[in-house]
Amino acid sequence: MDIIKDRYTITELSEQLSVTDHTLRYYEKEFGICVPKDERGRRYYTSELANLMYQIKNMRNEGLEIKAIKKILHSENMLPTPPPLASENYVTTVVPAEVSTNSTNFKQFFDEFKNEISANVAAEVSSARDHLSRELNKTKLELGACVENSMRRLETKLDKHFSEVDRSLAEWRDRKKKSFLRRFFK
């Protein structure tokens, strides 16, 4: 794409790329692209963002899935890294109740601290396991749909091929039958 301007509005870029405004907003959301806004709160695309949107559009036109495009763009460091799985809800603060030299208070404090950290780690591991499980199931479904689609296309091609073979055989038989009859009645 020829970048003529430093900044594009969403309408200008969508016209340049021959896509809808909705498509650009969808790409922003799916790929985690932060598009700056002007004083009036309207999106504007820099030349780098315009080129990125152009690349995404081209990859989609070539038939690549969103997931594949994400992997490609991440591997080329063209997208921001996804946020970590860790939730911000688990913040461990260390605030001693009182300053004391009593070793039992220290021991109790560190036992509570250990239990809190263990609970937070267990919650994060559980959250990560659930997230991975959902992602695996989603990938399994996508893969199944992909295989089904490929099988349907293959079956269609095979049906077409065998129909063509049957037609060719029928024509060949007719020709042979006619030539046999001609030789017989001559």
Q: What is the mean pLDDT of residues 14-39?
A: 92
Q: What is the pLDDT of residue 9?
A: 92
How would you label 78-113 residue by residue, b for 16+ Cβ within 10 Å and e otherwise? ebeeeeeeeeeeeeeeeeeeeeeeeeeeeeebeeee
**Can you read off the two tokens belonging to residue 52?**
């990125």
- Print the SS3 string covering 108-171: HHHHHHHHHHHHHHHHHHHHHHHHHHHHHHHHHHHHHHHHHHHHHHHHHHHHHHHHHHHHHHHH
For residue 109, name the pLDDT band (cuts at 50, 70, 90). confident
Calculate what percentage of the chain has a pLDDT beyond 70: 83
Residue 90 has pLDDT above 70, yes or no: no
Is the separation of the CB atoms in 124 and 87 below 8 Å?
yes
Residue 155 has pLDDT above 90, yes or no: yes
Q: What is the pLDDT of residue 141?
A: 82
**Can you read off the two tokens belonging to residue 26?**
């969808």
Residue 87 has pLDDT above 70, yes or no: no
Mean pLDDT of the chain: 83
Q: What is the pLDDT of residue 149?
A: 84
The total of other beta-carbon atoms located within 10 Å of residue 12's CB is 15
Q: Which amino acid is at 176?
A: K
Residue 145 has pLDDT above 90, yes or no: no
Q: What does pTM read for this prediction?
A: 0.44
Residue 88 has pLDDT above 80, yes or no: no
Q: What is the mean pLDDT of residues 142-164?
A: 90
Q: What is the pLDDT of residue 157?
A: 94
Q: Which amino acid is at 123?
A: A
